[in-house]
Structure 1
Amino acid sequence: MSTLSVSARWTFRLHRWALVVWAVLVVAIGGLLLWTAGPLADEADRGWRQAEACSRLDRCVVDMGLFHTMYGFMTTAVVLLPILVAAWAGASLTARELESGTALTAWTQGVSPVRWLAVRLALPAGVLTVSATLLVVLHRYAWAAPEDRAGPYTRWWEPFTFHANGPTAVAACLTALAAGALTGLLVRRTLPALGITVATSAVLLGGAHWLMPHLRTPVTEVAPFQDGYPHMFDGVQLSYGMVTRTGAHIPTPDCTATDMDACLRLYEQHGGTGFYNTFHPASHYWPLQLTTSAVLLLVTALLTAASFAVLRRRTG
């Protein structure tokens, strides 16, 4: 039996309970997403149709069910999975084995440090990629469930829905895994590594979300005052305001008047001719997803390379 197989089996034995907990978590979230997309979506559809039928009555009490509540919980769960991965990777994947001396024992029994780290990254990465992809597919199914039914549904550009519906959720899990491995190698103590990894991953993922709208050229549309802001709340917003006679885009002047005509006169006094809105429409969804995922995977690669560099330096 090769040393690689031995290392893989040893890794599985050390972290089997983490695998069991992760499997239970994935099955639970997946099952709840299917429940949300099926019975709960049907229940919300019936409630919405009842609300439409009785909207003209003086009093109408309608139960809309748990669809939107459960959808919100499950979306949050999918988005926060990378933080859970970071906590486990920072505390257990490398730091605990270095702190307890398990890693040193493995290195003295024919498993090189590089191979030891490669196995500890490769196996969780495979599990995370498959399971996170499955949850993304099920989440998209739950998100799209109201489309063929009555009533409103969550817009694609809402932050948590955006990430839970695409490959950024998978890439974020891999970034958290790499961040945890590197932190464990640097800190070598379980509890400090856990806290540092969670904080670092939150910063990295928050930074990726902040960067996301700037990874593709947005669309800017202009409309006359009477038409209002074009496509407002219809995509990922970057900026909006007033267009002047010179074509400049400036913030819309504050207007406290209750009469819209009075506000329009104020805008015209400031040289305004209409409103503008700079945003990403629905056609930019996949380009934004793919570019953001590429950025996260690049960060993952850099963190992984740094992990091997730190390991080589400390083990000679």
Structure 2
Amino acid sequence: MSTLTVSARWTFRLHRWAVVVWAVLVVSIGGLLLWTAGPLADEADRSWRQAEACSKLSRCMVDMGMFQAMYGFMTAAVVLLPILVAAWAGATLTARELESGTALIAWTQGVTPVRWLAVRLALPAGVLTVSATLLVVLHRYAWAAPEDRTGPYSRWWEPFTFHANGPTTVTACLTALAAGALTGLLVRRTLPALGITVAASAVLLGGAHWLMPHLQTPVTEVAPFRNGYPGLFTGVELSYGLVTRTGAHIPTPECRATSGDACLRLYEQRGGTGFYNSYHPESHYWPLQLTTSALLLVVTALLTVACFAVLRRRTG
């Protein structure tokens, strides 16, 4: 039996409870997403049609069901998975074994430090990739389940829906795994590594979300004042405001007037000729997803290289 197989089995034995908890979590979220996509989505469609039919009545009460609440809860659960991965990786993947001396015992049993770390990164990475991909597919199915998309359903550009529907959640899990492993190697104490990893992962993933709209060239549309802001609330927005006579784009001046006409006169006095909006339409969804995922994979690769560099320095 090869040392690689021995190391893989030993890793599974050490972290078997984490595997069990993760499996229960994935199955639970997946089952609830299927329930949301099935009976709850059907109920939401019927309720929305009833609401439209009785909207002209003076009194109209319609039970909209549990779809929106359950969808929001499941979306948050999927998006927050990387933080859970970061907490586990920072607390137990490397820090606990170094703190307890388990890693040193493994290294004296024919498992090299490099192979020890490679197994601890590769096995969780494979499990995370498969399970997170499954949950993303199920979430996208639940999001698209209601037939009548004119209802009060989540739009594709809403931050949690955007990430839960695409590969950025999968790559974020891998980034959190690498960040946790590196923190454990540097700190080598369970509780401090847990807190540092969660904070660092939140900063990394928040930074990726902030950079996401800037990784692709946005669409900029201009419209006269009477048409309002073009394309507002239809995509991922970067900026909007006034277009001046010189063609410059400036923020919309503050207007406390009680009428829209008074505000328009104020805008014209400031040199405005119309409104502009820079945003990403729905056609940019996959380019934004893929570029953000590529960025997270680069960060993951850098963190992984740093893990091996730190381990080599610590073990000689």
How does the TM-score come out when normalised to structure 1?
A: 0.98
Q: Could you report, residue by residue, the CA deviation over 1:191-233 in whole angstroms, capped at 9, with x for unpaired residues?
A: 0000000000000000000010110111110000000000001
Determine the structure 2 residue equivalent to 1:118: 118
Aligned: 1:52 with 2:52: yes
Superimposed CA distance per residue, residues 71-128 of structure 1 (whole angstroms, 9 cap, x where no aligned partner): 0000000000000000000000000000111100000000000000000000000000
Q: Is the 8 A contact 1:37 1:142 kept in 2?
A: yes
Q: CA RMSD in A?
A: 1.0
**Aligned residues of 1:30 and 1:135 also touching (Cα < 8 A):** yes
* Correspondence for 1:151: 151
Change (3 A) 1:45 1:147: closer
Structure 2 match to 1:3: 3
Structure 1 residue matching 2:80: 3-state secondary structure: helix
Deviations 1:244-291 (A, max 9, x none): 110011111222222222222111111111000010111111111000
Partners in 2 of 1:107 and 1:50 — Cα distance? 67
The answer to whether the Cα contact below 8 Å between 2:45 and 2:148 also exists between their aligned partners in 1 is no
Q: Could you tell me which amino acid in structure 1 is paired with residue 28 of structure 2? A: A
Name the counterpart of 1:134. 134
Question: Residues 68-217 of structure 1 correspond to what in structure 2 (within 5 A)?
Answer: 68-148=68-148, 151-217=151-217
What stretches of structure 2 of length at least 5 have no aligned partner?
none
**2: CA distance between counterparts of 1:190 and 1:8?**
22
> What SS does the aligned partner of 2:222 have?
strand
Separation in structure 2 between the aligned mates of residue 279 and residue 150 of structure 1, nearest angstrom: 21
Aligned equivalents of 1:129, 1:258: Cα separation in 2:
54
Is the 8 Å Cα contact of residues 45 and 147 (structure 2) preserved in structure 1? no
Give yes or no for contact 2:98–2:104 (8 Å, CA) kept in 1: yes
Contact 1:49–1:150 (CA under 8 A) maintained in structure 2: no
* Whole-angstrom distance in 1 between the partners of 2:260 and 2:149: 36
1:94–1:181 contact (8 Å) kept in structure 2? yes
The alignment covers a number of residue pairs equal to 316
Amino acid in structure 2 at the alignment position of 1:155: R
Would you say the 8 A contact 1:45–1:150 is kept in 2? Answer: no
Deviation at 1:57, TM superposition (A): 2.1
Residue 304 of structure 1 aligns to a residue whose secondary structure is: helix
Cα deviation for residue 153 of structure 1 reads 1.9
Contact persistence 1:147–1:153 (CA under 8 A): no
The 1:238–1:84 alpha-carbon spacing in structure 2 relative to 1, beyond 3 Å, is same
Query: Which amino acid counterpart does residue 17 of structure 2 have in structure 1?
Result: W
Q: Which amino acid aligns with 2:64?
A: M
For 1:82 and 1:110, the matched residues in 2 are separated by 33
Question: Kindly tell me: are residues 259 and 149 of structure 1, through their superposed partners in 2, closer, same or farther at Cα, counting changes over 3 Å?
Answer: closer
Q: What code does the residue aligned with 1:196 have?
A: I
Distance in 1 (CA, whole Å) between partners of 2:264 and 2:270 is 10
1:225·1:264 contact (CA, 8 Å) conserved in 2? yes
Alignment correspondent of 1:250: 250
**Structure 1 segments of 4 or more deviating over 3 A?**
147-150
Residue aligned with 1:64, SS: coil
Secondary structure (helix, strand or coil) at the match of 1:45 reads helix
Distance 1:202 1:36 in 2: 28
Please state how far the C-alpha of 1:150 moved relative to its aligned partner.
6.1
- Given that 2:244 and 2:250 are in contact with CA atoms closer than 8 Å, whether structure 1 keeps it comes out as yes
State the SS of the aligned residue for 1:146.
coil
Structure 1 counterpart of 2:64: 64
Tell me by how many angstroms 1:152 deviates: 3.1
C-alpha deviation, 1:50, in angstroms: 1.4
Structure 2: distance between partners of 1:110 and 1:253: 70
Normalized against structure 2, the TM-score is what? 0.98
Kindly tell me: are residues 77 and 314 of structure 1, through their superposed partners in 2, closer, same or farther at Cα, counting changes over 3 Å? same
- CA deviation after TM superposition for structure 1 residue 148, in Å: 4.6
Structure 1 match to 2:15 = 15
Distance 1:124 1:281 in 2: 35
